A and B are shown apart, each in its own frame.
Chain A
Amino acid sequence: MNPKKAVAAAFIIIICGLGVSSAQNGGISSGYPTPKGNFNASQQRGHGLYLRYCVGCHGIYGDGNGENAPYIDPKPRDFVAATFKCRSTPTGTLPLDSDLIHTLQRGVQASGMPPWLALSDENRVDLVAYIKTFSPRWQSEKPGDPIKVPPEPAVTMESITHGAELFQKMECWKCHGQQGRGDGPSAATLTDSKDQPIRPYNFADAGNDARFKCGQANEDLYRIFITGVDGTPMPSFADVIQPNDAWDLVHYLRTLQTHRKSKENEVLKASGGKIPVKPTAQ
């Protein structure tokens, strides 16, 4: 073989080789290496998406220590601890897949977590499948039984007034403040489960587009009393509040959102705008 022919042959071999290798890699869209471990197809797709969208905050190990984490308040979730704020399940239990998917859709208000509107439903399912590989809890436990939200009773002045009494009795004001401004006597000392300072929700601050961390409907507010917000100071009231009482409290809390148009504020306005509340012991 003369030298010219040898060079040409080498070129052909190299070009063919590149062609084969690029064809082999054609199935991986993320450009990252195939994950290790016994991941199923959904988890593998989720892994690619995680590296694209989530790793910056939640970190390569899923422990909430991503590159951006030092600049984020409240801190990104730690998937290794598997403690989730927004659940439909009791305190201390794992959430349903649908709870995590809702969080991806909705985002978490007043945090660095945006709504991931650009992701498809399948993307979200895959991401949840991958997120669940970070903690062994998902192997050994089942999610808790979702709590039942009974139908909402009518908004009346009696309901709002009773809710106001419960706000005193349950001592919600110790953290949230008497006007729901998030300035109660314990507010300044609150820390989350990783010892980071955390603010109680400020109801009065909310505008017409008011959202809570875990949703914006009355039903979401009801659910928060019962499930608590795990990883934060907000406890579960599941054992100590009756369903009707919890609804009354929801109706009262809506009146603390003074700038928001709501049935509750209309009812309150129609009856003179004042809630007759018994004086407290404090």
Chain B
Amino acid sequence: MSRNHLLAALLVTVAGPAWLFGAGTVSGKVTYTGTPAKQKTIDMSKEPSCAKQHATPITTETVVTGPSNVLENVVVYISAGAADESSAPAQAVTFTQKGCQYIPHVLAMRTGQELKVVNDDQTSHNIHPLAKVNHEWNKSQPPGTPPLSEKFEKEEFIPVKCNVHPWMRGYFAVLKTSHYAITADNGDFSLPNLPPGKYTITAWQEDYGTQTQDVTISGSETKTVDFTFKAKPY
């Protein structure tokens, strides 16, 4: 082995993480074309303790839009190309039931990461993730009881419902990668700390499905990847 080779081997061993060689970012905006379905107003009169928490009645959140046709609550993540991240973050993610609504409406987490479910309401909820790849379970959470602690081991987008309050619906996005983002009210997302490489970026919207785009990061650059979903007209 030549001296250069040795040096190179040493550098790789010491430097290890690729981010030392430069980390790229993929950012962009998610928008829609067409006319999204009008969201329905929720009647909470059967649950007065929740109804009184909302000055104006809330609506369903199947499609949440903003000015200039932006889409909120879209999960954007690296579905191929990212290095395998072995362990889930130690920090738990939290899913809160407040005013008979799920906050956030879409909660992303790593496979195996702790999920805490909190009931902030004065009524019983049952948390019922309708998992197909993971296991379906269904637990009651009366008011004043401590948070539930759960985790999911496999990648899946899981609808969550409360059978007592049929309007409550949310999603768990369980992902194998830590490189994910959920679009904010301006439709923007950003996936930082990407080592050089070729990636597949996937955007998931609960009603409109998924879209993918490939992108190559060659150094500490920021690449723009925008997604446009076609609105379902009903």
A-side residues, CB < 8 A to B, are: 81, 83, 91-93, 137, 169-171, 174-175, 185-186, 189-191, 193, 228, 230-240, 281
Query: B140, A175: Cβ atoms under 8 Å?
Result: no
Q: How far is the CB of B53 from chain A (nearest CB, A)?
A: 15
- Whether, in the assembled complex, B139 has its beta carbon less than 8 Å from a beta carbon of chain A, the answer is yes
* Interface hits, B126-140 → A, CB 8 Å: 126-128, 130, 132, 135-140
**Which residues from chain B contact A169 at a C-beta distance below 8 Å?**
142
Q: How far is the CB of A63 from chain B (nearest CB, A)?
A: 12
- Asked if A235 meets B128 with Cβ closer than 8 Å, knowing A93-B135, A228-B138, A230-B136, the reply is yes
* Interface hits, B162-208 → A, CB 8 Å: 163-166
- Whether, in the assembled complex, B124 has its beta carbon less than 8 Å from a beta carbon of chain A, the answer is yes
**Which residues from chain B contact A238 at a C-beta distance below 8 Å?**
139
**Which residues from chain A contact B136 at a C-beta distance below 8 Å?**
81, 83, 92, 193, 230-231
With CB as the reference atom, state the residue of chain B lying closest to A144: B135
B-side residues, CB < 8 A to A, are: 46, 49, 122-124, 126-128, 130, 132, 135-142, 145, 148, 163-166
**Which residues from chain A contact B138 at a C-beta distance below 8 Å?**
91, 228, 230, 232-236
Specify which of B122, B126, B135, B165 is in contact with A235 (CB 8 Å cutoff). Answer: B126
Measured in the bound complex, the distance between the Cα atoms of B137 and A83 in whole Å is: 9
**Which residues from chain A contact B127 at a C-beta distance below 8 Å?**
235
Besides the known contacts A171-B142, A193-B136, A236-B139, 13 further A-B residue pairs in the complex with CB atoms under 8 A apart: A91-B137, A91-B139, A92-B136, A92-B137, A93-B135, A171-B123, A186-B164, A230-B137, A234-B138, A235-B140, A236-B137, A237-B139, A239-B148
Q: Is the interface of B mostly helix, strand, loop or mixed?
A: loop
From A92, A93, A175, A185, residue with most partner B Cβ within 10 Å: A92
Query: A235, B142: Cβ atoms under 8 Å?
Result: no
- Asked if A170 meets B142 with Cβ closer than 8 Å, knowing A233-B126, A233-B163, the reply is yes
**Which residues from chain A contact B46 at a C-beta distance below 8 Å?**
185-186
- What 5 A-B pairs have minimum CB-CB distances, sorted nearest first? A92-B137, A233-B163, A235-B126, A171-B124, A189-B166
With CB as the reference atom, state the residue of chain A lying closest to B137: A92
Measured in the bound complex, the distance between the Cα atoms of B126 and A236 in whole Å is: 9
For this complex, 29 residue pairs linking A to B, each with C-beta atoms less than 8 Å apart, are: A91-B139, A92-B135, A92-B136, A93-B135, A170-B124, A170-B142, A171-B123, A171-B142, A186-B46, A186-B165, A190-B166, A191-B166, A193-B136, A228-B137, A228-B139, A230-B136, A230-B138, A233-B128, A233-B164, A234-B138, A235-B126, A236-B139, A236-B140, A237-B139, A238-B139, A239-B139, A239-B145, A240-B140, A240-B141
Measured in the bound complex, the distance between the Cα atoms of B158 and A92 in whole Å is: 14
With CB as the reference atom, state the residue of chain A lying closest to B45: A185
**Which residues from chain A contact B128 at a C-beta distance below 8 Å?**
233, 235
Q: How far is the CB of A186 from chain B (nearest CB, A)?
A: 5
Q: How far is the CB of B74 from chain A (nearest CB, A)?
A: 24
**Which residues from chain A contact B164 at a C-beta distance below 8 Å?**
171, 174-175, 186, 233
Query: B137, A174: Cβ atoms under 8 Å?
Result: no
Q: How far is the CB of A184 from chain B (nearest CB, A)?
A: 9
Query: A174, B124: Cβ atoms under 8 Å?
Result: yes
Measured in the bound complex, the distance between the Cα atoms of B164 and A234 in whole Å is: 10
Q: How far is the CB of A41 from chain B (nearest CB, A)?
A: 30
